Amino acid sequence: MAARILLLAALVISITCSDIAFAFDPSPLQDFCVADLQKPVLVNGYACKDPKLVKAEDFYFSGLNREGNTSNPFGSIATRITVTQVPGFNTLGISIARADFAPGGVNPPHFHPRATEILTVLKGTLEAGFVTSNPENRLFTKVLRPGDLFVAPKGMIHFQKNIGRGKAVALASLGSQNPGVVTVPNTVFGSHPKISTDILAKAFQVDQFRIQQIQKNF
């Protein structure tokens, strides 16, 4: 009887630890695990490069000082630096992005399926916000100026808009080496193949002609 109780306790601990272990990016089991981007090994992350072949350049990136091109319908652009640009990010659970905004530019509603985001404003004035999940769909929003930051929890739809008179710049720190991004309008109206117009018409409570007009923009 005692042996069964111990076995059951061990099983519960094992399941609990497994849940914790796989909840986020894989944790490093050594000082670092620089991604070997050339190996065709499919794992949760990248295979480790031989430590003897690791160089300082594997932990380095230059270019976040360069302004992004905001000449697009949204008036914003994100320069994302993930594990493919900095192999040293592998297993560390981090990445970063620079966001540039033209006056009035918007980073449209989107979410990161694998990361929480910390947005820090460097220049200009941004309105930032996120919406909680169903059924509350509660909106949290804040006006941010240089030196301010705002957190968007993992998986929550969030957005930013430049409400200042000039350009705006922000840095986004993300809690995954490969956070992913799902931009809501692009995903819903620009999928390949397209989502049926009757489904979207019912979802958005409009007629199918209006859905077709929106889909033409994507």
Whether the predicted pLDDT of 39 surpasses 80? yes
Measured torsion, CA atoms of residues 121, 126, 132, 133, in degrees rounded to the nearest 10: -100
What is the pLDDT confidence band of residue 115, given thresholds at 50, 70 and 90?
A: very high
Give pLDDT tens digits for 4-38. 443 444 433 343 443 333 345 666 667 888 999 88
Give pLDDT tens digits for 165-200. 999 999 999 999 999 999 999 999 999 999 999 999
The pLDDT of 103-115, averaged and rounded, is 97
First to last CA, the chain: 64
Average confidence score pLDDT of the chain = 88
**CA angle, 73 as apex, 71 and 75 as ends, to 5°?**
55
Unique residue bearing structure tokens 């209006």 = 210
pLDDT top residue among 43 and 205: 205
Question: What is residue 42's predicted lDDT score, i.e. its pLDDT?
Answer: 67
Task: List Cα–Cα distances, 206 to 134, 187, 196, in angstroms.
Answer: 21, 18, 13
Instruction: Take residue 168 and report the two structure tokens written for it.
Output: 């705006």
